[in-house]
Every structure is written in C-alpha cells, then in structure tokens.
Amino acid sequence: MNRAKIFIASTLLLAFAVCVSAQTPQTIDNLQEFDYLAKGKVKDLKFTVSTSEDVKKIFGESCEKGCIYENDWDIYFRYFDDEWIDKTFAAGRKELIYKPKPEFIGKLGYVVIQPRKQILLSENAVFSDEFECRNNTFIRGNKIRINSRTCVKNKNDIYIFSNETTTDGKISKGQLILVQFIYSGKNSDIMNLVN
C-alpha cells in the first residue's frame, strides 16, 4: 500500500513540475540558438521557386498555409498572389507601388515562425556581427502597435522582439514575437512597378 501511495505522490509531483516548467519562459542569450530553425525543413524551400505543393511534400498535406512546427512553433507560409503589394517612397515622397511579376504568382514569398511558448531575450544578450539590429514598431493585426527590436541576419533571417510589455500583459519586454525568412534578392527581380 505504501508503494502505491509513493508512486501516486511521485506521479503527481512530476506532473506538477511539468506544468510549472511549461509556464516558465525560456530565456536566451544569443540568436544563434535559433539557427536550427533555418537549417531544418525550411532549408529545403526556395523563395520565388517553391510552391504550395512543395510545402505540402516537405511539411505534410495539412500544412499548405501553416501548421505546428517542431512542437514548439507555429509556421506560416505566404505565397505571391495578385493581392501582394510592396510600397516604397521615392525622392519627393512619391509612393511607388510594386506587384509580383506574373511568373512568381503562386511561388513562396516568405515564411513566418512564431513560438508557441514565451521566449525572452536576456538583458545581457550578445549579438554577433552577423546581426544588424534596430528599434522600430511592429504592427500586429490592424491595431496593436508594439515598440520592437528587429534583428536581421544575411538579409533574409529576421527576428523581432518586443521592447515593451503590452498593456494587456500578453507580450512581455524582450519576448520573441516571430522569426521570419524572406527573399533576399533585389525587389526589381521579382516585382513590377505599377504606378
């Protein structure tokens, strides 16, 4: 009887420890800890070449637009389409609007990976010279604006962290918001000016 009580108590204690550890945010000291994201299945995709069929072959039939990745991440895919627009400003503040060239419609434009649990950048975080970081504003949805820090590696690996705790408390200062992999070539190679 005592062994059964010890077993039950041990099991409950272990379950409690697992629940507590799942709620504790992971803290990182450098962005190289995420290099495995780019070296996993994502490396088999080619921007402006891969299609949704390629994504389904690599990630599974149900992952054409997105799915759970490596258990701890959500991954999303965006393909060039007729709705895709890039805007820039030329000298004199004239807005320039670009749309994808027809041959790139349906091809992979970018990949977004978001953590399923909270990951915080430590106060002492060190970035290698490979990263170029700047402060800016991240817009989530249509209305949530977050002061953020964006770090870019190799012109196409983008890491966005919050610089503040949001008023609703859902995002903490230093929290990783997302990792994004994008096409790093010249915009003029894949886009046409439409105005």
What pTM was computed for the model? 0.78
Cα(132)–Cα(153) distance, integer angstroms: 7
- Across 116-130, average pLDDT: 83
pLDDT interval class at 17 (50, 70, 90): very low
Q: Cβ neighbours of residue 145 under 8 Å, at least 6 residues apart?
A: 137, 138, 139
Torsion of CA 48, 130, 134, 161, to 10 degrees: 80
pLDDT number for residue 23: 52
pLDDT (tens digit, 9 = 90+) per residue, 74-119?
999 999 998 998 888 877 778 888 999 999 999 999 999 999 999 8
- Is residue 16's pLDDT more than 60? no
CB 157 within 8 A of CB 39: no
Q: Residue 1: which pLDDT band, with cuts at 50, 70 and 90?
A: very low
User: How high is the pLDDT of residue 6?
Assistant: 38
* CA-closest candidate to residue 162, choices 115, 110, 126, 130: 115
Indicate the pLDDT class of residue 54, thresholds 50, 70 and 90: very high
Residue pLDDT, tens place only, 140-163: 666 678 888 888 888 888 888 888
* DSSP letter string, 115-184: ESS-EEE-TT----TTEEEEEEEEEETTTEEEEEEEEEETTTEEEEEESS--TTSSS-TTBEEEEEEE--
The predicted pLDDT at position 24 comes to: 67
Per the CB < 8 A criterion, the answer to whether 145 and 3 are in contact is no
Candidate from 3-7, 89-93, 108-112, 188-192 with smallest mean pLDDT: 3-7
**Segments making up each domain of the chain, as ranges:** 28-185
End-to-end CA distance of the chain: 81
Q: Alpha-carbon distance 193 to 45, whole Å?
A: 27
Q: What is the DSSP letter of 25?
A: P
**pLDDT, greater one: 13 or 74:** 74
Mean pLDDT of all residues in 23-34: 70
Helix (H, G, I), strand (E, B) or coil at 60: coil
Q: 10-14, 34-38, 187-191: which has the highest mean pLDDT? A: 187-191
